[in-house]
Amino acid sequence: MLRIYNTLTGQKEEFKPIVEGKIGMYVCGNTVYDFCHIGHARAMISFDVISRILRHLDYDLTYVRNITDVDDKIIKRAAENGELPSDLTERMIEAQQEDEKALGNLPPDREPKATEFMQEIINMIKTLVDKGFAYQSDSGDVFYRASRFTDYGKLNNRKLEEMLAGARVEVTESKEHPADFVLWKPVKEGEVHWDSPWGKGRPGWHIECSAMSTNCLGDHFDIHGGGPDLKFPHHENEIAQSEAATGKDYVNYWMHCGAVRVNNEKMSKSLGNFFTIREVLKLYNPEVLRYLMVSSHYRSPIDYSDQSLNDAKVALERLYNALRDQSCSEIPESSDYRTRFTAALNDDFNTPVALSVLFDLVRDLNKAKTESAELAETLAAELTNLASVLGLLYQDADYFLKNGTFDAEGISADDIEKLIEERKQARKDKNFSRSDEIRDLLAEKGIELLDSREGTSWTRK
């Protein structure tokens, strides 16, 4: 029985899909004006793992994650770059897809762009205006009447006035109430725009997700997810405008992943602790970053640091070392490992407990190698199969152990192999001082050489 922590109710609940065996899940994606950072990686990996788990549990999942490709930040950045907003967004979408592929993420079933749903966005705004939930102000903006929606604040379990205290809410004289939020913005000179009943302009951020999610999954669907910073105002506003427009409950289960902190501080460019995924992957194998995210429960905050990444690398090495030079047999139909692994996933996607089952498997696999080749092959197959549910152990073991991380000087596998060949020739020439010099040089780089009758292999410490 799957249980999910529902942000809407503040507790774990037995999951009951609207249609038995089927799930519609919408996750708020990125605003594509810059390269993805490690905070994005947290949300992307968390919901990739959740989608894998739901399919492992035999649900027929439709996973939708949007792309915000029209926004103030996009327009500003494109102007600074001297390029069209569409050129900027296409470039950043391609970069995001490259990052996700490197991290082992599977693509969502649908990835709608806001600009592709402009008529649906306009239609929803018109419905809200017609029902009296929205109005056009003297400034030309169309605003949502937050005070008209009696359940406003139910996701955050706070009343309207309580949420306004201390919140960053845009206040303008044209609003009827400080909590009202923009649905449609009038065009400014040189900006991208569309025709609408309220004049040329473009949508506000919140209405885009309501229109895309309901058009992709229906007015009422199972799961809506996103980062912790989206609970208010974005998701609160989504609920208000969607339920006012359709007259139906919007989402049954709300899920939010934990925040990323860097060395126990909030990530910020001003603090100099802001890292893009690409910067991290210059120093670490992508699976190390993925393991770091999976090793923490998706709802828990996670601390990003060199130490946490190195700990993740060591843990992954233990898994891969168990598989090095180990053949696999067919996957067993059932086992105690699989039962415990699935039980952990059914408990609100508890990946840390699921990982502990994998390490139990590694312990027993290492023991079986000296006792029963047949059992070792079965356990290796079970290990790789269960790990794949989390998107782990997708690389060749030998490759990972040689490429788990890179030092600042960026010594590559090719460079290491060349030095090993040079050392081999030095030993053949009885130039043992050069042979030792190469071993010491590689040791300084964190490279451990393993000499045997078959030759010299190596791994990164």
Express each pLDDT in 71-118 by its tens digit: 999 999 999 999 999 999 999 999 999 999 999 999 999 999 999 999
Give the pLDDT confidence score for residue 423 in this predicted structure. 94
Least trusted range by pLDDT, from 14-23, 182-191, 264-273, 405-414? 405-414
Binding residues for Zn(2+), by number, are 28, 209, 234, 238
Binding residues for ATP, by number, are 269
pLDDT value at 447 more than 90: no
240: pLDDT confidence band, cut at 50, 70 and 90?
A: very high
Q: Which of 4, 50, 10, 2 is nearest to 26 (CA)?
A: 50
Give the pLDDT confidence score for residue 167 in this predicted structure. 56
Higher pLDDT, 377 or 333: 377
What backbone torsions phi and psi does residue 294 show, to the nearest 5 degrees? -75, -25
* DSSP per-residue letters across 414-432: HHHHHHHHHHHHHHHTT-H
Dist CA 338 CA 334 (whole Å): 6
Give the pLDDT confidence score for residue 169 in this predicted structure. 56
327: pLDDT confidence band, cut at 50, 70 and 90?
A: very high
Residues 336-345: what's their mean pLDDT? 98
Give the pLDDT confidence score for residue 225 in this predicted structure. 98
Q: For residue 20, count other CB atoms closer than 10 A to its CB.
A: 8
In CATH, the architecture of 20-260 is: 3-Layer(aba) Sandwich (3.40)
Give the pLDDT confidence score for residue 265 in this predicted structure. 85
* Contact in structure between 338 and 328 (CB atoms under 8 Å): no
Q: What is the pLDDT of residues 160-193, one digit of tens each?
A: 877 766 555 565 668 999 999 999 999 999 899 9
Segments making up each domain of the chain, as ranges: 20-260, 283-402, 413-460
Per the listing, tokens 């993420």 go with 105
3-state helix, strand, coil in the chain (%, to 5): 50, 15, 35
Give the pLDDT confidence score for residue 446 in this predicted structure. 79
* DSSP per-residue letters across 238-300: HHHHHHHHHSS--EEEEEEPPPEEETTEE--GGGT---BHHHHHTTB-HHHHHHHHHTS-TTS
Binding residues, by number, are 28, 209, 234, 238, 269
Give the pLDDT confidence score for residue 271 in this predicted structure. 76
**CA distances in angstroms from 418 to 412, 425, 430, 452, listed in the order given:** 10, 11, 18, 18
* Average pLDDT over all residues of the chain: 93
pLDDT value at 392 more than 50: yes
CATH topology of domain 283-402: Four Helix Bundle (Hemerythrin (Met), subunit A) (1.20.120)
Give the pLDDT confidence score for residue 162 in this predicted structure. 75
The two three-digit tokens of residue 96, written as one number: 């995001």
Give the pLDDT confidence score for residue 461 in this predicted structure. 66
* Contact in structure between 316 and 404 (CB atoms under 8 Å): yes
Per the listing, tokens 């992709």 go with 216
Give the pLDDT confidence score for residue 174 in this predicted structure. 86
Report pTM: 0.89
Q: For residue 428, count other CB atoms closer than 10 A to its CB.
A: 9
408: pLDDT confidence band, cut at 50, 70 and 90?
A: very low
Residues 328-357: what's their mean pLDDT? 96
Give the pLDDT confidence score for residue 405 in this predicted structure. 61
pLDDT value at 450 more than 70: yes
Q: What is the pLDDT of residues 254-300, one digit of tens each?
A: 999 999 999 888 887 777 788 999 999 988 999 999 999 999 999 99
6 DSSP β-pair partners: 11
